[in-house]
């Protein structure tokens, strides 16, 4: 009996998966007579024109679209001969998906397909925050060395697109989210874990389940491979210790960095320095990426470089060329004597705390924060605001109210606080209250979904409004 292959979710990865299956040159494991279904909550009219044209241009693709798309799939009476390739961001605990699983439908992902079919080797990177910058740095160092390498995964490049270029000498740097890791069955050669703190509990159901998903990266590393982890992240360190016996049974090298010994960030001649094997190889004023946390990320990259036989000279050369990623402590520019930084990617309090620490000594005066309420605690964030005496707080719903209430209870911290409804109000107020020579930071400590499509739209609106505001008298 022919299989039905359902590609569930038609974002970048889902569309790349469809192209992979359709390609006559691909080594797709699915037979050519399989029935192919593309399913998504969006209708054709809601899609980008290029994506709409692609789907309509392949009559062999059956479309299952709209708000009731999951029920439409259930109505197909799928069973043991059928596969669902699910996009990572779609919550797998929905009742319709559970019913499909009970009926014997097999679920997999584009990530698992890639790992099953690839010939090359993989450095896989994860963490609660910092994984995109770290993955990009690993890629930059390997490129500096002249290695045959691609950057794929959660950073926005679907891995299946690169299988046609695959070979035994190929390396892939694969940024992996907790969504991708929850059902991960692949076996990377090297795993790098940069940080742990609570995120995405609405997706995973609990903090414990979130950490369990992240730890699949460690437990899935191939036998004899290497796990590199940030010893300075207490939660991560404790979780690694719990699973260490399992890792040792697989003869993994378990390598800590940021360990206060041969791998640490130190004070050096008025700057922060990257110390490796007793030598300061880079100071924070010698590259464009801000913050202690990003130097810690570079320590992790250094340990990957060590595993690959890449010297510190190549590491430093790549770091000095490296530009901060968009929406991650990104300098928008200096306008009317004020420097504006876009850190829209900070969707949890811990990440915003790191951003404040990175900019506090450089003159941070105004913070724009707040967003969708995912149930995070903001006490530590407010403690950091008080410690750094951030002068102006411009706060967005919904969590802005939570932050304001906590600030109001602080006896030793009385900033100017302003509640805003949208990004134009935020930026207009920032121009009014931020003194010349000061810094304004957008770092929301919250997801964006109540007011914006995603963190990218939020960051882009911020940058647009900053530039518009610079033209006004």
Q: What secondary structure does DSSP assign to 323-353, as a single string?
A: -PPTTSSEEEEEETTEEEEE-TT--SHHHHH
What's the confidence (pLDDT) of residue 288? 92
Checking if the pLDDT of 247 tops 90, the result is yes
CATH superfamily ID and name for 330-470: Mur ligase, C-terminal domain (3.90.190.20)
Q: Mean pLDDT, to the nearest integer, of 101-118?
A: 94
At 329-385, the pLDDT tens digits run 999 999 999 999 999 999 999 999 999 999 998 999 999 999 999 889 999 999 999
* 112-321 and 330-470: identical CATH topology: no
At what angle are helices 110-117 and 12-22 packed, to 10 degrees? 50
- Give the position of tokens 């309509």: 56
At 165-189, the pLDDT tens digits run 899 999 999 999 988 999 999 999 9
Q: How confident is the model at residue 206 (pLDDT cuts 50, 70, 90)?
A: confident
Q: How confident is the model at residue 26 (pLDDT cuts 50, 70, 90)?
A: low
Cβ neighbourhood burial of 1 (10 Å; 0-12, 13-18, 19+)? exposed
What's the confidence (pLDDT) of residue 27? 58
Return d(Cα 42, Cα 15) in angstroms, integer.
13
What's the confidence (pLDDT) of residue 1? 47
Contacts of 237 (CB under 8 A, 6+ apart): 229, 230, 231, 256
Strands (DSSP E) along 412-459, which ranges? Answer: 416-419, 439-442
What's the confidence (pLDDT) of residue 442? 98
At 69-89, the pLDDT tens digits run 999 999 988 888 899 999 988
* Paired strand residues for 419: 395
Q: What is the pTM of this model?
A: 0.88
Return d(Cα 376, Cα 444) in angstroms, integer.
12
- Give the position of tokens 């029920």: 71
Return d(Cα 192, Cα 138) in angstroms, integer.
10
Checking if the pLDDT of 447 tops 70, the result is yes
Nearest to 415 by CA among 423, 425, 430, 404: 404
Contact assessment for residue 193 and residue 218, using Cβ atoms and an 8 Å cutoff: yes
> Over pLDDT 70: what percentage of the chain?
96
DSSP at 189: S
At 28-46, the pLDDT tens digits run 666 667 889 999 999 999 9
Checking if the pLDDT of 25 tops 60, the result is no
Pick the more confident residue, 375 or 430: 430
Contacts of 425 (CB under 8 A, 6+ apart): none
Contact assessment for residue 4 and residue 78, using Cβ atoms and an 8 Å cutoff: yes
At 288-298, the pLDDT tens digits run 999 899 999 99
Mean pLDDT score of the chain:
92
Sequence spans of domains, the chain: 4-108, 112-321, 330-470
Checking if the pLDDT of 205 tops 80, the result is no
The backbone region for 347, taken as left when phi is positive above 0, alpha when psi lies in -120 to 50, beta otherwise, is: alpha
Checking if the pLDDT of 62 tops 70, the result is yes
Checking if the pLDDT of 129 tops 90, the result is no
What's the confidence (pLDDT) of residue 380? 95
Q: Mean pLDDT, to the nearest integer, of 104-129?
A: 94
- Give the position of tokens 């961001």: 89
Q: Mean pLDDT, to the nearest integer, of 146-162?
A: 91
DSSP at 157: B
Checking if the pLDDT of 410 tops 90, the result is yes
CATH number for region 112-321? 3.40.1190.10
* Residue 175, phi then psi, degrees to nearest 5: -80, 125
Spelled out in words, what is the top-level CATH class assigned to the domain 4-108? alpha beta
What's the confidence (pLDDT) of residue 225? 96
SS3 130: coil
What's the confidence (pLDDT) of residue 320? 97
* Residue 273, phi then psi, degrees to nearest 5: -125, 145
Return d(Cα 90, Cα 87) in angstroms, integer.
6
Q: DSSP states of 6-33 as a string? A: EEE--SHHHHHHHHHHH-TTS--SS-TT
Report residue 341 as tokens.
């930084």
């Amino acid at each position: 009996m022919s299989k039905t292959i359902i590609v569930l979710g038609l974002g970048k990865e889902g569309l790349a998966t469809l192209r992979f299956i359709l390609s006559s040159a691909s080594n797709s494991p699915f037979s050519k007579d399989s029935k192919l279904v593309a399913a998504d909550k969006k209708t054709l009219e809601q899609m980008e024109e290029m994506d709409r044209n692609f789907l309509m241009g392949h009559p062999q693709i059956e479309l299952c679209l709209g708000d009731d798309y999951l029920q439409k799939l259930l109505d197909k009476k799928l069973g043991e001969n059928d596969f669902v390739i699910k996009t990572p961001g779609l919550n797998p605990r929905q009742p319709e998906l559970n019913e499909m699983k009970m009926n014997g439908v097999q679920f997999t992902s584009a990530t698992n397909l890639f790992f099953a079919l690839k010939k090359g080797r993989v450095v896989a990177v994860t963490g609660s925050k910092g994984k995109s910058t770290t993955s990009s740095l690993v890629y930059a160092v390997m490129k500096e060395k002249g290695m045959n390498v691609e950057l794929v995964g959660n950073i926005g490049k679907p891995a299946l697109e690169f299988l046609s270029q695959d070979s035994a000498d190929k390396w892939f740097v694969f940024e992996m989210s907790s969504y991708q890791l929850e059902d991960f069955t692949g076996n990377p050669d090297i795993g790098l874990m940069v940080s742990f703190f609570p995120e995405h509990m609405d997706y995973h159901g609990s903090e414990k389940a979130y950490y369990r998903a992240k730890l699949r990266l460690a437990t899935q590393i191939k036998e004899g491979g290497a796990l590199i982890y940030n010893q300075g992240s207490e939660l991560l360190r404790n979780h690694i210790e719990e699973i260490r016996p399992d890792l040792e049974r697989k003869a993994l090298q378990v390598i800590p960095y940021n360990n206060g010994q041969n791998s640490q960030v130190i004070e050096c001649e008025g700057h922060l320095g990257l110390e490796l094997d007793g030598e300061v190889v880079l100071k924070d004023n010698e590259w464009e990426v801000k913050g202690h946390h990003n130097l810690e990320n570079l320590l992790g990259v250094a340990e990957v470089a060590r595993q690959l036989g890449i010297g510190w000279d190549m590491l430093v050369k790549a770091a000095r060329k490296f530009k901060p990623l968009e929406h991650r402590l990104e300098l928008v520019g200096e306008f009317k004597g004020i420097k504006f930084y876009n850190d829209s990617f900070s969707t949890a309090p811990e990440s915003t705390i790191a951003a404040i620490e990175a900019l506090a000594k450089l003159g941070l005066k105004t913070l724009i924060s707040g967003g969708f309420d995912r149930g995070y605690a903001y006490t530590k964030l407010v403690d950091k605001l008080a410690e750094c005496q951030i002068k102006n707080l411009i706060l967005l719903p919904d969590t802005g109210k939570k932050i304001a209430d906590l600030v109001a209870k602080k006896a030793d911290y009385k900033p100017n606080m302003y509640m805003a409804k949208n990004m134009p109000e935020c930026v207009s107020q920032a121009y009014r209250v931020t003194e010349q020579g000061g810094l304004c930071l957008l770092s929301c400590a919250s997801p964006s979904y109540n007011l914006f499509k995603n963190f990218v739209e939020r960051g882009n609106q911020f940058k647009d409004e900053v530039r518009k505001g610079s033209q006004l008298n």
